[in-house]
Chains A and B, each alone.
Chain A
Amino acid sequence: MTLLEFARGPGLQWSLVILTVGMLWRLVGILALKHKSDFAEPRARGTAVVSGAVKTLFTRMVYAKPFRTQTTLPNVLSYVFHIGLAIVVFGFGPHILFIRDLTGLSWPNLPSGMIYLTGVITLGALVAVLVRRMTHPVLRLLSNFDDYFSWLVTVLPIATGLLAVAHLGARYETLLALHILSVELLFVWLPFGKLGHAFLVFVSRATTGALFARRGAAT
């Protein structure tokens, strides 16, 4: 079995299994804990609480006005690499073929040139957030292995992808295999570290949204 065959076959299958089982384990491990009853007379009930939860999923996408000046730069960088990743993952022709083979779902692709440019911009934004993490006193203090390793497993697929399309550094098949393996590493790590926020963001925002809405407090 070649490296590429491994990456496309058992590598992919196992990484998806770990991603799914790991993330379910983590979510169930949290959500199966006791949910305490709140007996306090609510200021808002029923639908107002649900809408508080749903609203908070969206309102926290933009910082409230009093917080904007301090958060603009990191916020823009985060948006750039999150949207950039989405464009590259879901807009690149070969990725869509790969997803079609896996799921049967398919959609039109974006021009390759645009994808390459987006890839480079995304990489740039990720380098910028790393530099910020390593230089900002607050981020330096907070950061641990998870922060840096999660950064690495996010950057590797973009870096190897750009190398593969540029045919730089090794045979195309090898580069492609490394690219797929790097994505599998991302899948495998995702449930265990901070990348789990891809799922947890919905749980935690909605939780706070519902709790605060019940009190009639700002969400």
Chain B
Amino acid sequence: MSTADINQKHPLDLDQARVSIKKPEMRFDTQGDLTDQERVDTAMRNFVKDFGAVAATYMEACVHCGHCAEACHFYVQTQDPKYTPIWKLEPFKQAYKREAGPFAWFYRALNLKRKVTTAELEAWQELIYDSCTMCGRCSLICPMGIDIATLVGMARHGMFQAGLVPHELWAVAERAEREGSPLGATADVFEDRVEWMGDEHEVEMNIDLDQADVMVTLSSIEIQKYPKSMADLAKVMNHLGLSWTFRTDGYEATNFGMLSGNSAWQRNTSMKIIDAAIKIGAKTVILPECGHAYGALRWQGANVYGKPLPFQVRHISEFLAEAAREGKLKLNKVDRTVTFHDPCQVSRRGGATQAPRDVISALGLEMRETQDHGDYNWCCGGGGGVITIHRADPIRYKSFEIKMQQIDATGADLMVTSCSNCRQNFDDSQQHFQWDRKMESLLELVADNLIEDQA
């Protein structure tokens, strides 16, 4: 199948408000002209390409206890067994055992594992993309300690090269590669918006400075949907009296190459930030309120680069927490109660669970944790690229019900997060459910409560 007419067949409506989109018919999207057999072979080859001891251990270790289902919001909310996390990898497990594992000859001889077919991979597209946010909650319940989320990421490498990606996600990733940003925030657009926010909020913006200690990056969701965060970042940096800058050659921290499964595109996106930071001699790169951007640069960036990065990478919440701890952040006390939605990639999978709590405490807010919080927080259901996939809307909303229920139960005045993708999902779901709450940004809360030096 050619991709030439793909946009006519599956019209893209990326610019419409998400809530207006009706459920599309179920379909399997394909890209490229590969034959069925080539698709399967390519998928499996790229799945095992980066296979090391860790992934092989995980592939061998599953005892089919099924407990991972109970940790997954998509299964818990639908009770449909196909959403069992490890089942999402079934064709890949099958192919691994038949083709690559230590007993591949044994499985083949007894035909214990059948050959995977294209039809199976097409059917699995929904399981690998639409119904997995790679939030890693299942990785914490597994009695064998299998990190299922990582395996899903690897399966996406195979699916991408085989041209088996949900079309919206593919289109967004392709646009990010072509334009440097997935939502149309090109370097020119970014520069304009930085200037606009500087004027609007009367804050001094630093952009494209030749040298700076701190390079600040953004998520395209912030640039396009929550532009105030650019002003907020500048306010905080100025407040701390840092040498800092935005860079038009390294601003986009979201990484749709990673989410869709294209390692080359992932590398290109990360290298822009890395090159720009090295060019200006940055000591620190600040990642925006975006969950997967943290995973992409904080934990995978150096591996993409091939050696340790010559600067430190910090999520904005970590950066704020550190500044608060050192007493550099002067904040008004906010006499309200708050609950925090942990972005999975920053807290559970990133290890920065405590940072936002320190910031909240520095703001004098009273924390009301949800029933499951911190490392065991329920994902909002929109991560891992799921929010871009329109046909996934029904299960995304279904899984969001857990969040509404747990957050309402806290009775907190405010709800805050430090991921603009979560925030976008909360905004969209809030409209969908007519929920009377509004997700706020931790950064914005800090910026709005800075005590400016009167001297």
> Interface readout for A122-164 with B: 1 if CB under 8 Å, 0 if not?
0000000000000011111111111100000000000000000
Is A40 among interface residues, defined by CB-CB distance under 8 A? yes
Is B112 among interface residues, defined by CB-CB distance under 8 A? yes
> Interface readout for B30-53 with A: 1 if CB under 8 Å, 0 if not?
000000000000000000001111
With a cutoff of 8 Å between Cβ atoms, the chain A residues found around residue B143 in the complex are 60-61, 63, 201
Q: What band does the interface of chain A fall in when counting residues whose beta carbon is under 8 Å from B?
A: 35 or more
- Smallest beta-carbon distance A2→chain B, Å: 31
Q: How many angstroms between the C-alpha atoms of A196 and B102 in the bound complex?
A: 13
- Among A23-31, A101-109, A171-179, the one that faces the other chain is A23-31
A sample of 15 inter-chain contacts (CB < 8 A) reads: A35-B52, A39-B303, A40-B302, A78-B65, A138-B87, A141-B82, A146-B64, A196-B60, A203-B57, A204-B58, A207-B53, A208-B145, A215-B349, A216-B352, A217-B353
With a cutoff of 8 Å between Cβ atoms, the chain B residues found around residue A31 in the complex are 53, 57
* A-B pairs under 8 A by CB, number: 176
* Chain A stretch 170-219: residues in CB contact (< 8 A) with chain B: 192, 194, 196-197, 200-201, 203-209, 211-212, 215-218
Is B215 among interface residues, defined by CB-CB distance under 8 A? no
Instruction: Count chain B CB atoms within 10 A of each CB in A74, A145, A197, A208 and give the residue with the most.
Output: A208
Q: Which of B70, B79, B103, B144 lies in contact with A26, CB distance below 8 A?
A: B103
Q: How many angstroms between the C-alpha atoms of A41 and B103 in the bound complex?
A: 36
- Smallest beta-carbon distance B347→chain A, Å: 8
Is A13 among interface residues, defined by CB-CB distance under 8 A? no
With a cutoff of 8 Å between Cβ atoms, the chain A residues found around residue B103 in the complex are 25-26, 29, 192
Are A33's CB and B53's CB within 8 A?
yes
With a cutoff of 8 Å between Cβ atoms, the chain A residues found around residue B142 in the complex are 60
In the complex with contacts A26-B102, A34-B53, A38-B303, A218-B140 CB distance below 8 A: yes
Is B61 among interface residues, defined by CB-CB distance under 8 A? yes
Are B87's CB and A142's CB within 8 A?
yes
Q: How many angstroms between the C-alpha atoms of A143 and B84 in the bound complex?
A: 12
Are B350's CB and A41's CB within 8 A?
no
- Smallest beta-carbon distance B401→chain A, Å: 17
With a cutoff of 8 Å between Cβ atoms, the chain B residues found around residue A140 in the complex are 81
* Chain A stretch 36-65: residues in CB contact (< 8 A) with chain B: 36-41, 43, 56, 60-61, 63-65
Q: Which of A145, A196, A204 lies in contact with B112, CB distance below 8 A?
A: A145
What 10 pairs across the A-B complex have the smallest Cβ distances? A29-B102, A216-B351, A218-B375, A39-B302, A205-B145, A208-B145, A217-B351, A204-B61, A70-B70, A138-B66
Are B299's CB and A215's CB within 8 A?
yes
List 14 extra interface pairs beyond A39-B303, A147-B64, CB under 8 A.
A30-B57, A40-B300, A60-B142, A60-B143, A64-B376, A66-B371, A71-B141, A137-B79, A138-B69, A141-B81, A142-B64, A145-B112, A146-B112, A203-B61
- Among B161-169, B206-214, B306-314, B413-421, the one that faces the other chain is B306-314
Q: Which of A37, A43, A144, A204 lies in contact with B351, CB distance below 8 A?
A: A43
- Smallest beta-carbon distance A37→chain B, Å: 8
Q: How many angstroms between the C-alpha atoms of A211 and B84 in the bound complex?
A: 24
